[in-house]
Amino acid sequence: MRDEQTMMELILGIAGRDERVRAAALNGSRSNPAAPKDIFQDYDVVYLVTEVQSFIQDPGWIDAFGERIISQCPELMTLVPPEANGRFVYLMLLADGNRIDLRLIPVEQAEAYLLEDKLTVVLLDKDNRLPELAMPSDEDYRVQPPTAELFADCCNEFWWVSTYVAKGLWRREILYAQDHLNAHVRPMLLKMLNWQAGIRTDFSVNTGKSSKYLQAYLPESDWEQLLDTYAGAHEEDVWEALFAMTELFRSTAKQVAEHMQYGYPEEDDRKVTAYLRRVSELPRDADQFTWE
C-alpha cells in the first residue's frame, strides 16, 4: 500500500503535468486535524480545471493513479440522477487499498467551491488566484442544537413510524418492518443521541458520517443499549430491538428536552407505547383491535 507521502506526490504530480488542471485541493478526513488517522481514509481531492469534457472523453487518463479494483462515475449513472452542475466525479478504489474520490470542478466555480467546506486545503495553485484560507476546521460538521420545532418533529416522526414497524411485524412482513425500523425510526434515535452528545460537549464535536464517532461521546450504558437496537432476522428479534429503541429514545429525548427547556410529548409516548405492546400481544387471527 502506497503511503500518504507517495499518494500526495502522485496526486500533485498528475495535476502539475496537466495544463488543464489549474489548482488542486484536499477535503475530507485527511484535511481534518480532529479526525482519527488510519489506512482506510479516502483522498478527497479536487482538481480545478479549465474544462471538464475532455477528461470525460478520455477515461483512460485516470489509469495514472494506478490499477483499480473498482471505480464509479456518478454523473454517468442513472441509478441516482446526477446533479448536473458542470462538475464530474471519479470514485476509485485502487488495487493497493488506497481510495481516491476525485472531483473535477470548472475553474470558474473556484470561488463557490472554496466557500462550501471549511476543511479545504489548497495543495496547488498554478495561477496564484486562490485566496489564502483559514486553517481547516470541522465546525460545519459539528452537531447543532435543535430548535424546538425540530425536536418536536423528531419525536413525532419516531413515535409515528414506530407503529409501522409493529404493523409489519404483526403481518409477518419482516422486510417491511425492518425497513421502517432502520430507514425511518433509527435515524430519529440517532439524531436524538447526537443532540445528547452535543449537549455533553457544548456542541463542539463532529460525530462523523453515519454517526461513526458517536460512541466516544455517549455514556457506556447508552452505547450498549444502542447496540441492543440492532435486530436479527427473526420477528422476536425485531420486537426486542423496537422496544429497546423506544426505551433509549425516551430517556435520551427527556434529557435533551430538559436541557433545551423544550416540552417532551409524554402523551404520544404513552399511547404509542401501549399500542406497540398491544400489537405485539395481538393474536394472528384477531378480527378487531383495541389498544387500551
Q: Give residue-wise pLDDT tens across range 235-244.
A: 999 999 999 9
Answer whether 90's CB lies under 8 Å from 73's CB: yes
Enclosing H/E stretch for 125: strand 121-125
In this prediction the pTM is 0.87
Locus of grid cell 425511518:
184
DSSP β-ladder status, 43-49 and 99-106: parallel
Q: Is the pLDDT of residue 283 over 90?
A: no
Supply the mean pLDDT for the chain.
94
Which of 36, 39, 55, 37 shows the shortest CA–CA distance to 47?
A: 55
Phi/psi at 176 (5° precision): -60, -45
| Distance in angstroms (rounded) separating the CA atoms of residues 270 and 152 | 16
Answer whether 113's CB lies under 8 Å from 86's CB: no
Q: Is the pLDDT of residue 61 over 90?
A: yes
- Residue 82 has a pLDDT of 78
- Residue 264 has a pLDDT of 98
Which SS3 state, helix, strand or coil, does residue 69 take?
Answer: strand
| Distance in angstroms (rounded) separating the CA atoms of residues 48 and 11 | 13
Burial class of residue 21 (count of CB atoms within 10 Å of its CB; 0-12, 13-18, 19+): buried
List, in sequence order, the alpha helices (H) in the chain. 4-17, 53-57, 110-114, 148-170, 174-180, 186-200, 220-227, 235-260, 266-281
Question: What structural domains does the chain harbor?
Answer: 4-137 (3.30.460.10), 142-281 (1.20.120.330)
Which amino acid, one-letter code, is at 94?
L
Q: Give residue-wise pLDDT tens across range 64-115.
A: 999 999 999 999 998 877 777 899 999 999 999 999 999 999 999 999 999 8
Q: Give residue-wise pLDDT tens across range 17-50.
A: 999 999 999 999 999 988 889 999 999 999 999 9
Q: Is the pLDDT of residue 291 over 80?
A: no
Q: Is the pLDDT of residue 224 over 70?
A: yes
